[in-house]
Amino acid sequence: MLKYYSFTLFFFLIFIEPVASTSFAEANALLKWKASFINHNSSILKSWNLDTKNSANLSNRPKSSSNPCNWFRISCIDESVNRLNLTNASIQAFFYEFPFSSFPNLAYIDLSLNRLFGIIRPQIGQIPDSLSGLTSLRTLYLYNNQLSGPILHELGKLTSLQDLELDMNHLTGQNPVLLSGLTSLRTLYLHTNQLFGPIPPELGKLTLLLDIALSTNHLMGQISTSLSRLASLRTLFLYTNQLSSPIPLELGKLTSLQDLELDTNNLTGQIPVSLGGLTILRTLYLYNDQLFGPILHELGKLTSFQDLELSTNHLTGQIPISLSGLTSLRTLYLYTNQLSGPIPPELGKLTSLQDLE
Residue type present at position 148: S
Domain that holds residue 182: 2-310
Residue 223: the pLDDT is 96
pLDDT greater than 70 at residue 253:
yes
pLDDT digits (tens, 9 = 90+) for 265-279: 999 999 999 999 999
Q: Is residue 121, in this structure, part of any structural domain at all?
A: yes
pLDDT digits (tens, 9 = 90+) for 10-56: 323 333 344 456 778 899 999 999 999 988 766 778 888 876 554 33
Residue 124: the pLDDT is 66
Q: Is residue 100, in this structure, part of any structural domain at all?
A: yes
Q: Is residue 208, in this structure, part of any structural domain at all?
A: yes
Q: Is residue 196, in this structure, part of any structural domain at all?
A: yes
Q: Is residue 81, in this structure, part of any structural domain at all?
A: yes
pLDDT digits (tens, 9 = 90+) for 76-94: 998 899 999 999 988 999 8
Provide the 3-class DSSP secondary structure of residue 77.
strand
Q: Give the domain CATH number at 180.
A: 3.80.10.10
pLDDT digits (tens, 9 = 90+) for 165-223: 999 999 998 876 768 889 999 999 999 999 999 998 999 999 999 999 999 999 999 99
- The pLDDT mean for the chain works out to 85
Q: Which of 257, 287, 265 has its CA nearest to residue 217?
A: 265
Residue 66: the pLDDT is 73
pLDDT greater than 50 at residue 160:
yes
Q: Is residue 319, in this structure, part of any structural domain at all?
A: no
Alpha-carbon distance 328 to 108, whole Å?
38
Q: Is residue 322, in this structure, part of any structural domain at all?
A: no
Domain count, the chain: 1
Band (130; pLDDT cuts 50, 70, 90): very low
Q: Is residue 344, in this structure, part of any structural domain at all?
A: no
Question: How far is C-alpha 100 from the chain's CA centre?
Answer: 19
